[in-house]
A and B are shown apart, each in its own frame.
Chain A
Amino acid sequence: AQRVTQPEKLLSVFKGAPVELKCNYSYSGSPELFWYVQYSRQRLQLLLRHISRESIKGFTADLNKGETSFHLKKPFAQEEDSAMYYCALSASRQISSGSARQLTFGSGTQLTVLP
């Protein structure tokens, strides 16, 4: 069965410092990984996905299949980055009509960027 692990529940950094949010996964198939973010009093939204290899709001994440990791990084944290971050894995699941892919989420990391 697939699993997503975010080892840090809480992470605090100072403004301007680098930040790395860790994510490890276990999945026997071909993984598709995502980062979602939830700012205070806002809905959960997609931050980035590994297949697009893009940088959103200065964040990047590289899929490392050897280490089964998908850590989220930003070189210079900003106060507005304070939020809850979830790593998610899209994996196949058996359903009554065959199989389909769906997201499994990690437990989340609350990032606080201090002034």
Chain B
Amino acid sequence: DVKVTQSSRYLVKRTGEKVFLECVQDMDHENMFWYRQDPGLGLRLIYFSYDVKMKEKGDIPEGYSVSREKKERFSLILESASTNQTSMYLCASSLANYGYTFGSGTRLTVV
């Protein structure tokens, strides 16, 4: 019963490419989040959204943008991928602002 689905498990992109990471949730949650997970740094918040077409910057938004056209879908966009964006990206959703449900993650490698 997968509830937060990230479209790709592994992704390899070239420097300068535009990259789209997709996340879909089927729990009718209003809140959705994008984190990146790096060893020794934990999870860092990139962007989040509390409603359709709304977005807020997290702690490390530089180099990223997001799109939320429908309640169930939250996309993370790397406008011009760079090697320092090589990371594990985690999507999460929540009904209230705790008790997050996470996706399985997308491991992005930028070469």
Contact = CB atoms under 8 A, between A and B. Distances in A.
| Secondary structure call for the A interface | strand
B89 interface: no
Interface string A32-50: 1010000000111110010
B56 interface: yes
A95 B45 CA distance: 14
Interface residues of B, number: 23
Interface in A77-110: 86, 90, 95-97, 100-108
Contacts of A44: 43, 90, 92, 102
Interface in B78-111: 90, 92, 96-100, 102-105
B40 A90 contact: no
A9 interface: yes
Given A43-B104, A43-B105, A101 B43 contact: no
B43 A95 contact: no
A49 B50 CA distance: 22
